[in-house]
Structure 1
Amino acid sequence: MNKDVPNNNNSNDEVDLIRLLDYFKGGIKSIFRKLWQLIEVFLKFIVLIKKNWLIVLGITAVGAIYGWYLDNFSTSENLTYEMIVRSNPISNIELYAFSSEVDNQKAINYKSEGIDMIKRLNVKTMSVTPLEREEDVINSYFDKIESAVMRNDMTDTLYYHSFEIDGHKGKMENTDYSLQAIKLKAPENTSPDFLQKELLNYLNNLPGVEAEVQNKLSILKTYEKVLKQNLDNIDSVMASRASLNKNSGLAGAEQLLVNTASRGNVEADLLKYSEALSKKLYGTQKKITEYESGISVVSNLRHVKEKGVMDNKFIRYAILAFGLSLLIILLIEFNKYLNKYQKA
């Protein structure tokens, strides 16, 4: 072994470490330098506002006074109305489309029954928001599972493993939720009862929606019929076996004695299938009711107070006026810069 050969590994590691520390030090300095530049720009902006405080204060005060006047003395104000409805996925699609139509009514050139109704009722804006309940997520999840079973897409438990309920919630659309909150703006002299009646009458009688609902009902009612037939068959078999046991003269044969611990017990299997089919029948009949009722009212249309900060007209117009004053100041400064540039 040659001991005379110098080992430069340690010295090279020290040099690399020093360079790395210098790199980090330079990066940290650069970050703080940029932050200080931003602070300087902010301070210059504050000084600019201070120099023109009369413009800022005057315009902001005018905006605040105007907002206060609208809040207390305006007679042509549009109020916010809100209602909660229960709907099915098909009607929800039309509900969201109609909401978009209301918000874009000024840009719409064509004529339709919906547009005519909007203008006749003087509805200004409309928004629809789903009430995201876990019940709807679970119902939608098992609807997908059951549909897959009927299409023979499920093999044992593999489908359940690949179709997680949390992942399903992330894929749900707003139209998949049964409860929807409708918020709209209309003149304060509008009758909420009349507005609600006209709105629901229009949405529940659209030809396209009605046709799709009837198609869905046809499928659900066919499935309901099959479930009822299966339950009737189970009842017939159970009654037949009870009668057979009774005629055999066995003690207590007038009743069905079910030994649930025995896998080979026919009565136990039939009762298990009967319970499962009864639950499916209940769920199917519940969905039939939802589709038959269309869009139904859960909470009637009524005037509500806006809760947001910007919904207070005093604050809203004060902030808008403050922003306008800043824009005017910046335009004044830009004009000064152009004058200097022109003279240069």
Structure 2
Amino acid sequence: MTGRLGRLGRLGRLGRLGRLAVSTAVGVTLYMSSSSARAGEPVIVAPAVIQGDLNKAIARQLEARLREVVQTSDLEIIEISAAFARRAAACADDTCRATLIAQTSARFLLVSEITLDNEDYHLRLTLYAATGALTARIEDTCELCGLTEATGLMGDLGARIGRKVDVATRAAFFEIRSQPPGAKILIDDKLVGISPLELPIEIGIHELRVEFDEYIDIERELEVAAGESAVLDFELQRLPPKAALDRTKLYVGLGWGALAAGVGAVAGGAAVITLDGRPITSDCSGANVDVDGNCRWRHATLEGGIGLTLGGVVMIGAGVALLVMAAKGQRANSSKTTRLMPAPGGIAWWF
């Protein structure tokens, strides 16, 4: 019975090994087919971080397998000194990693972690960009594994991280059209072509501007994700004629004038209203003062104050209306953010 269980255990381990070998081969083949036309991306492979009771010779074999698969995946490993590699593996923040990567020609840093707990191997690969920020992290556990199975699992993870690099560096592809066609297309203040135009755009946030003589410029903030593709359509609006511009200037002048006069009238009306019923001090003497000392002559300004205030309110309203009309004439397209989002059947974008 014991011998039969031992054979079943070996068969189970061989089955897992076979699946790992197949998945590794398929992963490497798929990645190579997708990146065969691309130059190898430079990567620093830091020495593995070892945890648990793992023999150094076994750790070196696992690291060698990782480097082999990374190179097979059409990535270029940047050779660095042992001391530099140890510092890279020990970095705990984005700034430290970015500083070290900047000292080389690499665009990525790959850190592997190998943990052995009894006969369970836990493998983790972490990929950092040139900024030091996390780009991808994949991990897996091989339970009750030997070295052969652990090596196969490391190869599988290495192929998968290669595909992560491919996605992270793949530019988005856009078709930019305008109505009317023939507009200048500028990205980050650099002329890239004339619409209609098809071009790749690197991932990140960019300023896109569409220009055409005698038309209002369109400016957009374009947020681009890796591997996106979309069509951007822009409908340009003609600049207003000179007569309209002169009329707009007239509206601005009249509007501010009416607004100032209206505010003054409201303030004056309020002051006049407060005088109503108060004694006229210049005529408060002699017979104009009664036995109680009250002046017989008083201001009667209530109606006039109300009229002046209402007139001021009307002028303020007219001034605001004129300024609104002027603003409509001067209005240009304000900056917006273009975001690409997954949608059923393709990509959707908003302006």
Q: Indicate whether the TM-score tops 0.5.
A: no
Instruction: Report which structure shows greater RCO (CA 8 Å, sep ≥6).
Output: 1
Structure with the larger helix share: 1
TM-score for both structures, normalised by structure 1: 0.27
- In terms of Rg, which structure is larger? 2
